[in-house]
Amino acid sequence: MLYFAKWKIGLILAICLAGLFFSVPNALRGQADGLPSWWQPVTLGLDLQGGSYLLLEVETDAVVREQLEALVESARAELREARIRYVGLGVEAGAAVVTIPDAGQRTEAARLLRGLDSGGTDLTEGAEGRFSLTFQEQALIERRTQAVEQSIEIVRRRVDETGTREPTIQRQGDSRIIVELPGVDDPQRIKALIGRTAKLNFHLLDERVSPEDLAAGQMPPGTTVLPAAENNTDGPPRYAVRKRVEVSGDRLVDAQPNFQDNQPVVSFRFDTAGGQRFGRVTQGAVGQNLAIVLDGAVISAPVIREPILGGSGIISGSFSVQETQDLALLLRAGALPAPLTVLEERTVGPGLGADSIEAGALASLLGLLLVIVFMLATYGLFGAMAVVALVLNLFLLLGALSLLGATLTLPGIAGIVLTMGMAVDANVLIFERMREEARNGRTLMNCIETGFRQAFKAIVDANVTTLVAAALLFYFGSGPVKGFAVTLSIGVLASMFTAVMVTRLMVVVWLRRSRAKALPI
């Protein structure tokens, strides 16, 4: 027990030096950019460096609903083309339903309906020719997953476009997205940008609808009422819009804020297919109104004077410059497949973050100082050894956190302070045991040997239980609390190493040099 092999001493020293080495960048935080990526200071959590944490939920139900509606629209077109008479076409309780009154046409209708969505749907025929079309479970899961993945991609593009430094965007659970924005202290603009679906579609207005019908909300099938967008102050408050999407915003390849007659506008450009389609639509509808619909509201509905063949156009409205910039950004980044809801937001300003670091540092130093004084007063020389071990423990902890790229949060700092209190516990256990053995009249060697060996079992059991609690904390906790669990676990592991190995080494060296005959505590 009291003999250390050379390689063991070397290993212990090497670990301690590595701890020191990887702690160094924390003193050079100002020049961290110039340091290699494996030799960086510990990452500060959003609560310390300031920043914003957003938890978003993708409303995947909306995707399914939308796809059912699309299914209904294609059913309408197909049935009409096949001259099959139908009634009661619409969406009901998660299914697209239609009734075919003529029994002779039902087989043909079923064939058409089955072919609507390239597989993935189930068709059931009820009484009196009532068909209902639902998505299969697997297809639903796929669609939801796809919607979430697409949303993450689009959120990332939008956040990147705002110029936020080092954002983190990741999926959580089935339908949630975590967005972390370091350094952002007022996320309102980003929230507004992220939260908007930004689905741009071009529809034709339905001229058959009279102003009276519009006011009464009486629409022919395939036509719906859409409100004017907020910045559409020139036009009427409501529009009768054909449901059929003529060209969709997916086809945009570029959008830029621009000016026309000194008014801020957004100019856009379609890809080739979109441009051709746009040309065809405008060619066939000269004289009609083309509604530009963003997120279910009409921005404007200009009259098509001539076919627009160049594949580019302009969206005008009563925009401010900022609004055209944001709209252009949104159109470039693409539309979200489904609306996003902010479930949770936590923002810490840089001021509070700096204050927290200061408070944490002060509390740590003070705690360290008090523990040092206490250990020296109680155990004298051995106390000094424990203090050396404690300081090494802190370096190991800091070094490990830096090396692992772990995030230090305010509760994490609390974890460090707590570690200091608990790290000396192992030494207290050992020293108290030595004292006890000494009182029983054992020789010095014997006391030290027994002290370390007997205390070791208790130390292991005691620390494993703490690790168990920390592991569960890590699993169930979020953000700052996870940071606490990480610091606590590493602190406990490091303290076992320093308190047991390093202190023992020091005691052995002391024993050899001093040739003492009695325990100095």
Partner 1 sequence: MPALINLIPVDTKIDFMKRRVPALILSVVLVLGAITSLAVQHLNFGIDFSGGILVEARMPEEPDMADLRARLNTLGLGAVSLTHIGDDARDVMIRVQQPDDTTEEQENAALEAIQGVLDAGVDYRRVELVGPKVGGELIEAGIWAVSLSILAIVLYIWFRFEWQFAIGAMVALIHDVVVTLGVFSVLRLEFDLTTVAALLTLAGYSINDTVVVYDRVREKLRKYKRMPLVDLLNLALNRTLSRTILTSITTLVAVVALLAFGGEVLRNFSAALAFGIIIGTYSTIYVAVPILVYFDLRREAIAGEDSEKEEATGGAASGSDTPAAPMIEGADGFVPSPEPEADDGDDSAPSGGTGARSATTRAGNAGKRKPKGRGSRGARR
Site for partner 1 in 173-192 (CB under 8 A): 185-186, 188, 191
For partner 1, the closer of residues 82 and 343 by Cβ is 343
Q: Are 485 and 470 in contact (CB under 8 A)?
A: yes
Rounded CA-CA distance 282/308 in Å is 6
Task: Give Cβ neighbours of residue 380 (< 8 Å, ≥ 6 apart).
Answer: 520, 521
Q: Does 85 bind partner 1 (CB under 8 A)?
A: no
Q: Are 167 and 181 in contact (CB under 8 A)?
A: yes
Q: Does 360 bind partner 1 (CB under 8 A)?
A: yes
For partner 1, the closer of residues 327 and 424 by Cβ is 424
Both structure tokens of 447? 């006391």
For partner 1, the closer of residues 258 and 454 by Cβ is 454
Q: Residue from 319, 379, 395, 497 that binds partner 1 (CB under 8 A)?
A: 379
Instruction: Look at the chain and count its residues.
Output: 521
Rounded CA-CA distance 400/22 in Å is 7
Rounded CA-CA distance 444/153 in Å is 67
Interface with partner 1 in residues 42-71 (CB under 8 A): 47, 55, 57
Strands 176-182 and 168-172: antiparallel
Q: Does 374 bind partner 1 (CB under 8 A)?
A: yes
For partner 1, the closer of residues 302 and 349 by Cβ is 349
Burial 35-63 (b: 16+ CB within 10 A, else e): eeeeebbbbbbbbbbbbbbbbbbbbbeeb
Q: Between the CA atoms of 158, 164, 169 and 175, what dihedral angle is there, to the nearest 10 degrees? A: -50
Q: Does 199 bind partner 1 (CB under 8 A)?
A: no
Q: Residue from 84, 470, 496, 507 that binds partner 1 (CB under 8 A)?
A: 470
Q: Residue from 137, 283, 443, 509 that binds partner 1 (CB under 8 A)?
A: 443
For partner 1, the closer of residues 41 and 360 by Cβ is 360
Task: Give Cβ neighbours of residue 339 (< 8 Å, ≥ 6 apart).
Answer: 58, 59, 62, 195, 197
Interface with partner 1 in residues 403-422 (CB under 8 A): 410-411, 413-414, 417-418, 420-422
For partner 1, the closer of residues 278 and 484 by Cβ is 484
For partner 1, the closer of residues 40 and 407 by Cβ is 407
Q: Does 441 bind partner 1 (CB under 8 A)?
A: yes
Of the candidates 46, 12, 117, the residue with the CA atom closest to the CA atom of residue 345: 46
Neighbours of 440 (CB within 10 A): 10
Rounded CA-CA distance 64/59 in Å is 9
For partner 1, the closer of residues 161 and 436 by Cβ is 436
Cβ 442 to partner 1, closest distance in Å?
Answer: 6
- Local structure of 117: helix, strand or coil: coil
- Site size toward partner 1, by CB under 8 A: 95
Both structure tokens of 171? 């999926």
For partner 1, the closer of residues 313 and 491 by Cβ is 491
Kindly calculate the radius of gyration of the chain based on its CA atoms and give it in whole angstroms: 35
Interface with partner 1 in residues 480-519 (CB under 8 A): 480-481, 484-485, 488
Both structure tokens of 517? 């005959």
Cβ 15 to partner 1, closest distance in Å?
Answer: 21
Q: Does 363 bind partner 1 (CB under 8 A)?
A: yes
Q: Does 29 bind partner 1 (CB under 8 A)?
A: no
Q: Residue from 90, 101, 279, 367 that binds partner 1 (CB under 8 A)?
A: 367
- Looking at the DSSP bridge assignments, the partners of residue 200 are 294
Q: Residue from 375, 406, 501, 505 that binds partner 1 (CB under 8 A)?
A: 375
- Local structure of 443: helix, strand or coil: coil
Q: Does 20 bind partner 1 (CB under 8 A)?
A: no
Q: Does 478 bind partner 1 (CB under 8 A)?
A: yes
Cβ 100 to partner 1, closest distance in Å?
Answer: 40
Give, in degrees to the nearest 5, the angle at Cα 41 between 463 and 409. 55
Interface with partner 1 in residues 319-348 (CB under 8 A): 341-348
Q: Considering Cα of 36, then 41, then 42, then 45, what sign does the dihedral take?
A: negative
Of the candidates 238, 242, 245, the residue with the CA atom closest to the CA atom of residue 202: 245
For partner 1, the closer of residues 406 and 429 by Cβ is 429
Q: Does 436 bind partner 1 (CB under 8 A)?
A: yes
Cβ 164 to partner 1, closest distance in Å?
Answer: 17
- Looking at the DSSP bridge assignments, the partners of residue 256 are 267
Of the candidates 329, 320, 316, 336, the residue with the CA atom closest to the CA atom of residue 254: 329
Q: Residue from 259, 286, 405, 476 that binds partner 1 (CB under 8 A)?
A: 476
For partner 1, the closer of residues 403 and 485 by Cβ is 485
Rounded CA-CA distance 413/255 in Å is 46
Cβ 494 to partner 1, closest distance in Å?
Answer: 16
Q: Does 7 bind partner 1 (CB under 8 A)?
A: no
Q: Residue from 71, 229, 327, 424 that binds partner 1 (CB under 8 A)?
A: 424
Q: Residue from 377, 513, 515, 517 that binds partner 1 (CB under 8 A)?
A: 377
Cβ 24 to partner 1, closest distance in Å?
Answer: 25
